[in-house]
Amino acid sequence: MPVSCSAYGCKNRRTILSKHRGITFHQFPKDPGLRKAWILAFRRLDFKPSNKTVLCSDHFTQADFDRTGQTVRLREGVIPSVFASFPNHLKRRPIKTRSTKTSRRALEPIKDPIPAPKCSEPPKPAVSDHHYALDPTQVKKKLSDAQARIEELERQLRNAKDRERRQKQVLKSLLERLEERGMLSEAIEIELLQESD
């Protein structure tokens, strides 16, 4: 079944010709909030898109696309905004800027008559929302926690090796006793010693 754009008055269909023209088709988002925003941008009365309803790339600006990979994708959170085929009463009108003297003065930055005091100490770095920017105190704490964990694991390893050494000594003394009593053959003794090493 051919796929066609569901925008009002748009005649684009998914064909080889539209692919060569660079037109891509995008499904409605699954996120309920973003899906509702797309429906409102559509401006079609009682429009309920299905899971297969698509919108062509003509209804998005160039900044809305992520063309870094082989597949053209929409950036996260974009809303369709280009609807050339809408009737005039549905097209958005540009917001006019205010032109009165008072409005222009309101947009000017306010000059502070009292200057801010200068600090002698350097400002502390703000908490960053980047995952690669780390707080030095947190890094020190993590490092000391990791070192404590390493020391604990090394202690456990030493204890395990000591226990193994003691068990081998016990096994050898038992083998010697069994041999003294004549209850152990040489073949069994060699086999047990090989397994203990």
The pLDDT tens digits of the residues spanning 64-109 come to 888 887 888 888 888 888 777 666 666 655 555 666 777 677 666 6
pLDDT of the residue at 98:
61
Domains of the chain, by residue range, sit at 1-93, 137-196
Confidence of residue 151 (pLDDT cuts 50, 70, 90): very high
Residue 8 vs residues 17, 40, 45, 48: alpha-carbon distances, Å: 21, 13, 11, 14
Non-local CB neighbours of 7 within 8 Å, separated by 6+ positions: 42, 55, 56, 59, 80, 83, 85
The pLDDT tens digits of the residues spanning 170-182 come to 888 887 888 788 7
Confidence of residue 27 (pLDDT cuts 50, 70, 90): confident
Confidence of residue 124 (pLDDT cuts 50, 70, 90): low
Rounded Cα gap, residues 170 and 56, in angstroms: 80
